[in-house]
Amino acid sequence: MNYRKFGNTGIEVSEIGFGCGDVGGLMVRGEHADQVRAVARAMELGINYFDTASRYGGGQSETNLGQVLKELSAEVYVGTKYSLGEADPNDLKAGVIQSVEASLKRLGREQVDLIQLHDRISSQTDVSVRAITVSDVLGEVREALEVLKSQGKVRFYGMTGVGEPKGIYEVVASGLVSTVQTVYNLINASAGAAAPAGFDMPDYDRLIDLSAEKNVGVIVIRVLAAGALTGTSVRHPVAVQTVAPIGSGRDFQQDESRARQFAFIVNEGFASDMPEASIRFALSNPGVSTVLVGYSDLEHLEKSVQYAAKGPLLAEALARLPQAWSTFVS
């Protein structure tokens, strides 16, 4: 396993991270014994970053991960996320603190390495739809995070880069966060490459470049576009069976259709299958710290690590991607 710089945290994380979300489902709906085996094997393979959230399975992911890590006496880096969906919009500071403290309780930890905002950045705060403004993030949310850090409950701050790209940019540029999670995959690569004129998906305007400039670590999410880039329509029993796109096309069917434009990567021998092509594409960008993969079983885990070990995609394959992206316009 290779390791990469994690922004300004002073730590290095594995190129492949362990995603504990709903999409893969293992840490939400899997059997406890399977969860233990997967986490133990992940550590054997060198994975040292585990990412969960208060919203995954209504907190079940945090509970399950905490129990497994305790059982294994694991020494790894843990990141979770707070959400303000039930917070009083007039007291966001209290909402952040309450959410993080509830996460720590579920995880069975006194401190978490990374705590990340899980709400959309928007022009108007509306906690009922999990949306919050930049000014609130840099105001009450910052105050809450500083309290939690002073109490030794969190080490670093991060954010999930969803919502309005302009607002995401402003928060990253502010210096508040040490890490940002961003959508970055073969279908929507705008976080790392210039989008074509008329681009019909969210344009993240080379957020990875800004993050490198600001010494912010980049956690790639949706590397498989919620399954559209797996090359199959069959989903594992513990996985979410229907997933709405985040940061890509208008619906899953459009994402699947666009994914076919990258079949040449497999057909011409640049990768063995689409998951390999997708993971190696993301890791081709040196500004990426880690790629989160959501697992359904041990086989998914093993293959992800094997793919990463092959290194970046060849330059010849990468050079042909902009031609496909140029067609993703309205």
User: Looking at residue 241, what is its pLDDT?
Assistant: 64
Higher per-residue confidence, 100 vs 249: 100
- Is there a contact between 277 and 260 (Cβ–Cβ < 8 Å)? no
Place of tokens 């996460």: 103
* Better-predicted residue by pLDDT, 131 or 54: 54
CA–CA gap between residue 56 and residue 111 (Å, rounded): 19
Beta bridge partners of 117: 82, 159
Distance from C-alpha of 27 to C-alpha of 52, rounded to nearest angstrom: 9
Tell me the β-bridge partners of 174. none
E strands present in the chain: 3-5, 12-14, 16-19, 49-51, 77-82, 112-117, 120-121, 131-132, 154-160, 179-183, 217-221, 290-294
Please give the average per-residue pLDDT across 266-280, as a whole number.
Answer: 97
HSE-CB at 273 with a 13 A cutoff on CA atoms is 12
Considering only 2-6, 27-31, 273-277, which range has the smallest mean pLDDT? 27-31
- Domains of the chain (ranges; CATH) run 3-325 (3.20.20.100)
Contact predicate 161/168, CB 8 Å = yes
Inter-CA distances, 45 with 15, 18, 267, 302, Å: 11, 11, 29, 8
Q: What is the pLDDT of residue 234?
A: 67
Q: How confident is the model at residue 24 (pLDDT cuts 50, 70, 90)?
A: confident
**pLDDT, greater one: 247 or 60:** 60
- Amino acid 316 reads E
Q: How many CB atoms lie within 10 A of CB 124?
A: 9
DSSP string, 222-270: -TTGGGTTSS-S---TTS-SS---SSS-SSHHHHHHHHGGGTHHHHTTS
How many whole angstroms separate alpha carbon 32 and alpha carbon 18?
16
SS3 for 261-311 is HHCHHHHCCCCCCHHHHHHHHHHCCCCCCEEEEECCCHHHHHHHHHHHHCC
Q: How do residues 114-161 score in pLDDT, each as one tens digit?
A: 999 999 888 888 777 778 899 999 999 999 999 999 999 999 999 999
Residues 90-117 have pLDDT tens digits of 899 999 999 999 999 999 999 999 999 9
Q: Which two tokens mark 178?
A: 């040490």
